[in-house]
Amino acid sequence: MEEARLDNELERIHKQMSFLWTTYDCHLKFFTRAYGMYDRGFIIGLENKVCKFVFERETNSPRETIGHYVGKKDAPFVPPQHNYWDDYGWYSLPSLIYWLSGVEYEYEKDVDKDLENLSQYLKRHIDKVLELFQHPAEFDSKLEYYRNLYKDKQITVDQIRAERARLKALGQDWSLETAIASLRGDRK
């Protein structure tokens, strides 16, 4: 059973984020199933011509969600002390998208639900993510630009929940996208 664990985790990620393979030409570049303090975790690394993605979990607990990171092309798949920090070219994918979009990501305690949410979140902003990594020399200045772009206009999870409830009560479309558009003042 333990032998198939890495296959199962890769299948879980592929199911929720197949667009990384089909549309954005990612391929499996690195993996290990002996990761973390007790070697019960895993790392799955994907790569395309612009950047890298890492999915990692330190234990085999179903309550622990999978960590998701995006990194520069020269970022090591296993950085020193296993720390996926910007010092090593890695960024938390939800945090990076928050800076790019101004919309806070809601983590779920269920692995599959969390990956499903991340997938929807990433699909909406993947072109910005890839554009950010496209020219490494401009990365820091572009990231700073995006960090300041929504500085006073960030949309929180609580605001989204309240807006979705309001739209639903009015009998209107209460999808995530519609709620965000409404909070930003966009008219459809």
What's the average model confidence in pLDDT over 142-171? 91
Q: Is the predicted pLDDT of residue 187 greater than 60, yes or no? A: no
Retrieve residue 32's tokens. 């290990």
C-alpha angle 122-117-58 in degrees, rounded to nearest 5: 95
Rounded CA separation 91/71 (Å)? 6
- Containing 56, the helix (H) or strand (E) segment is strand 52-57
pTM for the complete prediction?
0.85
Q: Please, which residues have CB within 8 angstroms of residue 151's CB and are 6 or more apart in sequence?
A: none
pLDDT, tens only, 113-126: 889 989 988 998 99
Q: Which residues of 167-185 are buried (b: 16+ CB within 10 A; e: fewer)?
A: beeeeeebebebbbebbee
Provide the pLDDT confidence category of residue 1 given band limits of 50, 70 and 90: very low
The tens digit of pLDDT for each residue in 82-92 reads 888 989 999 99
